[in-house]
Each structure stands twice: as C-alpha cells, then as structure tokens.
Structure 1
C-alpha cells in the first residue's frame, strides 16, 4: 500500500512517515500545501492520501474535493486526519469525498489498511 501524507507540520510528517514505514506502508511523498499534494498525487499515484483537516491557511476539506476531481485515472482514497475530535467536524467529514476520518493518535499501517479494505468492500 502506498500513501501520501499532507500536513503543514514538518514534525508530524516525519513522525508519521517513520511510523507508517515501520508498519510496511510505502510513503511515496509528503506535502505541506494543496498544490504540492495535487502534484505529488498525480506523479506518484498513491493508494491513499492522508490529509490533515487544518492545513494552516488551507482547508483539508477543499483539498479532498480537489483530489477527487483532479486526479487522472481515478482518485486515491482520501483519509482525513486531525488532532481534533471527529465530532467537531462530523457533518463536514460526512459531506466530503473522504472515505474516513482517522485521529492522528490512532495512525498506523493497520488502521489505514482496515479503512482501505472497508472502502474497497463498499465500492468507494
């Protein structure tokens, strides 16, 4: 499974990369902005993109929509991540094209794999 991490925190991106690679996930890239994320998603064609809800001055929800619309050959599965509680954004998460929300403290290769298996099973 390949993954692109999109977050405005360099510390989080590096920690997430190390954690996921230790779990057997191939991290094909990391991005801090929507423009970087769209370019890398098109170039590397990851299976999934982890998108922080709060990208500083940008919105992870907007990026999720852009990824769903702009990625040729079928969009990657988008998983929204955040340190915030899912309930704080429940309606926006449900309205987004993301397949799931994953709290940052629960991030793992196993969790991502479970989400993707469920998404594929649902035909997402």
Structure 2
C-alpha cells in the first residue's frame, strides 16, 4: 500500500524538493501546505496516512500546528512526524511532550525513514 503524505513547510523550495524525493521513492504526496490553516483543511479533506510538519513555519510554531491537527482535524498522533533543519537535541523536550510519532531531520528525509518512524515496512 502506498503511503499518502501531507507536507507542511513554509519553504516552497523545500516543499518541491521533498515532494519530488518522496514521490520518486514511492510515497504519494497528496498535498503541500505552507500554513497551519491550510494544513488543517488538507488533513481533514484528504486524510493522509502521514503528515510531516516543519517545526518552524515562519510566524507559526510547528508544535502548535501539530496540536491543532491532532485536536481539531482529528489526525492520529501516531501519523505525525516533525521535521527540521535543526538537530533533534535542540527540541528534544518539546518533541517528547508533543503528540507525534517522531522526528526526522530534513537532511535524513526519505520514504524509508518515514516508514521506520511509523513502524511500517515497504
């Protein structure tokens, strides 16, 4: 089964690059969003299998967006992964306290890494 993915990041360049990479590796990117409001709308409409949320979304906190996704849009916490250019250690306490499956550095983003965090195999 192909994983359906929603990407949330404030960088159009990153969104395009990540979409291309993940689609080449067999994931279906169902939508990309640059704001929390768009993320909530797409999550509710499209019900992706996994949602990747950047920790820094311009003027918004990715942690706040995750709380809204898991609360308002009823996205399963086990299907949300935080991403960042920063090291996991920089946000370890916040990540541990957030309702997410895990964290991936943007430099380590791949379909296999996403599946590993979700505990799924190809």
TM-score under structure 2 normalisation?
Answer: 0.92
**Residue-by-residue CA offset, 1:4-53 (whole Å, 9 max, x unaligned):** 00000000000000000000000000000000000000011001110000
Alpha-carbon RMSD: 1.1
User: Could you say which residue in structure 1 is the equivalent of 2:66?
Assistant: 64
Q: Does 1:23 align with 2:29?
A: no
Residue 102 of structure 1: SS of its match in structure 2? strand
The CA deviation string for residues 43-90 of structure 1, in whole angstroms up to 9 with x for no partner, is 110011100000000000001111111124x53611000000111100
The corresponding residue for 1:111 is 113
The offset of 1:107, in angstroms, is 0.2
Aligned-partner SS, 2:100: coil
For residues 8 and 116 of structure 1, what CA distance do their matches in structure 2 show?
24
Q: Distance in 2 between matches of 1:39 and 1:75?
A: 15
Paired residue for 1:83, among 67, 73, 85? 85
How many residue pairs get aligned? The number is: 117
> Quick check: 1:69–1:75 contact (8 Å CA) kept in 2?
no
